[in-house]
Amino acid sequence: MSAPPSPDDGLTAADLAAKYGLAVSGARPGLVEYVHQLWGRRHFILAFSQAKLTAQYSQAKLGQLWQVATPLLNAAVYFLIFGLILKADRGMSREVYIPFLVTGVFTFTFTQSSVMAGVRAISGNLGLVRALHFPRAALPISFSLQQLQQLLFSMIVLFVVAVGFGSYPQLSWLLIVPVLVLQFLFNTGLAMIMARMGSKTPDLAQLMPFVMRTWMYASGVMFSIPVMLEEHPEWIADILQWNPAAIYMDLMRFALVDGYGSENLPPHVWAVAGGWAVLVAVGGFVYFWKAEERYGRG
């Protein structure tokens, strides 16, 4: 005896889904809803970043001291090569150049580490991505927050270096706060861009160290861009000075280092710093959200 006809006979899968209010598992939510979901996971984002920070040097005997020792050792090497051998300090006294160099290394390392962590944010956490349902942007945001916490810990040493070479606390030091906020927004947006790219191209993690090294040399970490390029066409120095890594480094140096005045900054520097932060943060977030339903698949 045949079964009675069903009222759903002849309906396609799409028709059935629409009729019974079904949705694709893991479908990308709307942008506003996505932001709302991220806000609901804010405690997870903070806890995850703190756990990653604690675990980062858990196998090393010096532990968290490597957060400070690594950029300081880098600064020492750069001072030996660029300060003493290549004379990249050109016109700066030792009291200005050493804080200038250390500030540049610490500030650029913040961006560099955020980018490198962003590349592996999805591809390096596939087990978590496939096992749990949560907005995937929580991962690159957590890694950027981890790098911010690491920088804040390192800032204590940066302050000691500045004071040790005659740059004493003053009102300009308060500018450090907005500089870090803008740089964090920029880094987070960049980390989300790299997270989406790295999720489908694992080899990107091998390429990025070379890209970041080139960016570092082009951003004036070890030297003043206008002084070093004074014999070259002015537009070259302008392009290098307006790149975001150089902008945030110069603002941090202006805030922290005595003898590094506003004459070393490009015009409208705060507007440019804010523009880079908003453009990359918003653009990176939307770019990452567009591929939300594809992360962890394939």
Q: What is the model's pLDDT at position 160?
A: 87
**Tokens standing for residue 105:** 């290394």
Domain housing 175? 29-53+64-294
Over residues 12-21, the mean pLDDT reads 53
* Other Cβ atoms closer than 10 A to 70: 16
Structure confidence by residue, pLDDT tens digits, 252-288 = 999 999 888 888 888 899 999 999 999 999 999 999 9
Tell me 86's DSSP state.
Answer: S
Contact call for residues 244 and 186 (beta carbons, < 8 A): yes
Tell me 134's DSSP state.
Answer: S
Residue 8: inside a domain, yes or no? no
* pLDDT-derived band at 2, boundaries 50, 70, 90: low
* pLDDT-derived band at 18, boundaries 50, 70, 90: low
Residue 46: inside a domain, yes or no? yes
* pLDDT-derived band at 26, boundaries 50, 70, 90: low
With both helix axes pointing from N to C terminus, report the angle between 176-200 and 204-218 in degrees, rounded to the nearest 10.
150
Residue 14: inside a domain, yes or no? no
Residue 119: inside a domain, yes or no? yes
* pLDDT-derived band at 227, boundaries 50, 70, 90: confident
90 pLDDT exceeds 80? no
Structure confidence by residue, pLDDT tens digits, 167-207 = 899 999 999 999 999 999 999 999 999 999 999 888 898 99
Q: What is the model's pLDDT at position 58?
A: 62
* pLDDT-derived band at 147, boundaries 50, 70, 90: very high
Contact call for residues 118 and 208 (beta carbons, < 8 A): no
* pLDDT-derived band at 117, boundaries 50, 70, 90: very high
Over residues 133-149, the mean pLDDT reads 93
As for how many domains the chain has, the answer is 1
- Measured over the CA atoms of residue 72, residue 116, residue 121 and residue 58, the dihedral's sign is negative
Residue 229: inside a domain, yes or no? yes
* Whole-number percent of the chain with pLDDT over 90: 46
Close Cβ partners of 52 (under 8 Å, ≥ 6 residues apart): 142, 143, 146
Among residues 100, 91, 145, the alpha carbon closest in space to that of 249 is found at 100
* Other Cβ atoms closer than 10 A to 99: 26
The pTM score is 0.86
Residue 23: inside a domain, yes or no? no
Rounded Cα–Cα distance for residues 250 and 236 (Å)? 17
Residue 143: inside a domain, yes or no? yes
Q: What is the model's pLDDT at position 80?
A: 82
Residue 2: inside a domain, yes or no? no
Rounded Cα–Cα distance for residues 74 and 108 (Å)? 11
Structure confidence by residue, pLDDT tens digits, 51-75 = 888 777 666 556 667 767 777 787 7
